[in-house]
Amino acid sequence: MKLENQQIFLPGGFKQFRILKSKYDLSEKDVLIIGSNSEKIAEKMIDSDAKSVTVIVSDYDSLINSRLNLRKEISVSVKMMDFENTDFADNEFDLVYAQASVSLTNRNKIIKEIKRILKPDGVFCVSEITSLTKEYPPFVKNIFEASDILPLLNNSCTEYYKERKFSVLYEEDLSSSLTSFYENAANTLDESFESLTDKEKSYYKKLLNKISHESNAYLKLGADKYLGFKMLILKLL
């Protein structure tokens, strides 16, 4: 399913990248991007003179889609790996970038792996899907569980990373950007559904239902009171 809008189909859109670029020189940096739908971010890294850019995804469909969606003239390596157990060497990357891709139940193991592959003065730019309240209703819990998300409390993200020996260079609450993300998700769903074959509709039924459910919950049922989005630029101590 090669959807044009899906190339930037991430919470926060390009805002996380724009903020990073304003505060960090990407020139001649070895960059790792974690997560699917990151092709346009990878292209922007290359356009910003990064030395190398590698994208890792966790499943075969994402691997194929990422390779199809990248511009042919762009030199970006896309690989399928477990985020918590990569094939990279110690101290390999200047920058690891994760946009809503590590807010998972195995986050602790992923962060440990990121620390291993970052260079001693490396930078980790991350955005977390968060909860705005300690308690949230069952329908919000279902959203988290459907995506294997273990959300941090929005105002506790900084403390979480400090406890794991990162210093915080910059942080910003991007929760307000989720409205446009879910509006775009709903529109993309409507537009893409018409172009899919019956076979594709059957194959992607679970994903399409998930997108529809989350968008409806956020835009109409009040999930916006509970779902947050936090960006941090971190450096290893």
Residue 171 and residue 232 in contact, taking contact as beta carbons nearer than 8 Å: yes
pLDDT digits (tens, 9 = 90+) for 7-64: 467 888 899 999 999 999 999 999 999 998 888 999 999 999 999 999 999 988 888 8
Query: In angstroms, rounded to a whole number, what is the distance separating the alpha carbons of residues 55 and 237?
Result: 25
> Within a domain: residue 54?
yes
> Within a domain: residue 139?
no
How far is residue 9 from each of residues 6, 25, 145, 182, measured CA to CA in Å? 5, 25, 20, 10
DSSP state of 105: T
pLDDT of residue 31: 98
Mean pLDDT on 103-117:
97
Q: Which of 40, 61, 3, 2 is nearest to 188 (CA)?
A: 3
pLDDT of residue 64: 85
Residue 74 and residue 42 in contact, taking contact as beta carbons nearer than 8 Å: yes
* pLDDT of residue 6 exceeding 70: no
Report the length, in residues, of the chain: 237
What pLDDT band is residue 207 in, cutting at 50, 70 and 90?
A: low
> Within a domain: residue 166?
yes
pLDDT of residue 7: 43
CATH of the domain at 56: 3.40.50.150
pLDDT digits (tens, 9 = 90+) for 146-182: 889 999 999 999 999 999 999 999 999 999 999 988 8
E strand or H helix at 158: helix 157-163
pLDDT of residue 1: 40
> Within a domain: residue 66?
yes
pLDDT of residue 199: 61
pLDDT of residue 193: 66
Pairing of strands 77-80, 93-99: unpaired
Estimate the crossing angle of helix 138-146 against helix 205-220, to 10 degrees: 140
pLDDT of residue 8: 62
> Within a domain: residue 191?
no
Q: Which two tokens stand for residue 89?
A: 């060497």
* pLDDT of residue 122 exceeding 90: yes
C-alpha 140, offset from chain centre: 19
> Within a domain: residue 183?
no
> Within a domain: residue 12?
yes
Number of domains composing the chain: 1
> Within a domain: residue 193?
no
What is the value of pTM for the model shown? Answer: 0.90
Q: Which of 184, 234, 206, 209 is nearest to 3 (CA)?
A: 184
- Domain, as residue range, for 128: 5-134+148-176+228-236
pLDDT digits (tens, 9 = 90+) for 209-226: 777 788 889 999 999 999
Query: In angstroms, rounded to a whole number, what is the distance separating the alpha carbons of residues 158 and 168?
Result: 7
Q: Which of 201, 151, 208, 221 is nearest to 6 (CA)?
A: 208
